[in-house]
Amino acid sequence: MKQPTKISALQFYLMLFLSRIVVSITLNAQTVGDRNFLDNILSSLLLFAALFLFVLPLFALNRKYPDASLPAIAERRLGSLGYGISAIYGLYFVILNTFSLSLFLTLVMNTLDPVASQWSIAVVLAVIALYGAVKGIETISRASICIFTLFLLGMAAIFIALSPNVRLRYLEPMLYDGWEQTLRGFFVFAARCTSLAEFAVLMPSVEGKKKLGFAVWNGGVTAFLALLLFFIVSCLGEYAYLQIFPAYTLSAIAEIAGIQRLDALFIGLCMMTLIIRIACGLFAVSECISRVMRPRARTVVLTVVSALSVFLALWITADAKRAGVLFRTAYLLPLTALTGAVLPVLVWLIDHFKKERGSR
């Protein structure tokens, strides 16, 4: 069996950081609730704890089969049924790529430029992501280091620029209106968190301190979200709840050294991270089909998948109703739960059960 290419845990978690953060920063009152954004810090903390729990079967499987992804283990243990699990993961990444692209196109249309050519933006993003995916996981993970650095510098500039605008009087006590906002935020964050599925598929490519990396990564994302929510509330106050994308509005009021409005920088950084997310998703799709297709055929499939995502994203964002369906947490959450929690537990149990029966 050919050994998978290994990337370091640092590279992997930076890639996942970007992949997770780009969707999280598009939160708004419509999705996470309009009572108190600060409650969503607790939402992210809840997800922080939940991820520790749900990752356990994945770590257990990875410990036993360090060179096999969850779909590969499923195929090995379940035969033809395992191919169905690969298909579910593949399909999930296609849906999530479409979701991410649609979300970003909505952001561009509603904030940056309502008359911007959507198809050109979508095509450019998809083509670059495809290029990265075809180059391989090493390329994406290495690029993540560079983009993470730029992202960190850019966001630091935005936060520093915003610091004079912080008004502590806008901050309200957490859970003042009960747990509803917290729980709603938790489900939104959880639904949009593709990391467990990415873990399930890409884990064999990672070497190094995976568990420590996981803890740092999970904590880092939570801390970043908490910081973002703090700035949204303390700088925008009630205004934040009226904005379609408060994080974008936040960048638009930032001013540093005479340079006004850092929203273009923010959108640019979002695009860079989005490319990483889509490329990561595409590579995960290629991993799902890697056992049944030759490399060249996989490139063709990925090209088709990219084109499909672009087409679907454009079709969905053209109509508010369709977009509403895609962005609805109630539809997305079961899919994420299935790929991130249910299937890993199921495969782990089957593997455990079969082993026990065999040893009797």
Query: In the complex, which residues of this chain contact other proteins (CB under 8 A)?
Result: 4-8, 10-11, 112, 120-121, 124-125, 128, 131-132, 134-147, 150, 205, 257-265, 267-269, 271-272, 275, 279, 286, 290, 295-296, 298-299
- Smallest separation, CB 264 to other proteins (Å): 4
Q: How far is CA 301 from the centre of its chain?
A: 22
**Residue number with CB closer to other proteins (125 or 326):** 125
- Smallest separation, CB 184 to other proteins (Å): 31
**Residue number with CB closer to other proteins (169 or 296):** 296
**Residue number with CB closer to other proteins (268 or 334):** 268
Cα gap 329→57, rounded to integer Å: 25
The torsion angles phi and psi of 255, rounded to 5 degrees, stand at -145, 125
Q: Position 206: which residue type?
A: V
- 3-state SS, 196-247, equals HHHHHHHHHHEECCHHHHHHHHHHHHHHHHHHHHHHHHHHHHHHHHHCCCHH
Give the other-Cβ count within 10 Å of 71's Cβ: 27
Question: Would strands 259-260 and 255-256 be described as parallel, antiparallel, or unpaired?
Answer: antiparallel
- Smallest separation, CB 284 to other proteins (Å): 13
- DSSP-assigned letter for residue 1: -
- Smallest separation, CB 293 to other proteins (Å): 9
Please name which of 49, 33, 48 lies closest in space to residue 177, comparing C-alpha atoms.
33
- Burial of 162 per CB tally in 10 Å (0-12, 13-18, 19+): buried
- Smallest separation, CB 55 to other proteins (Å): 24
- Smallest separation, CB 247 to other proteins (Å): 16
**Residue number with CB closer to other proteins (272 or 347):** 272
**Residue number with CB closer to other proteins (5 or 30):** 5
**Residue number with CB closer to other proteins (10 or 312):** 10
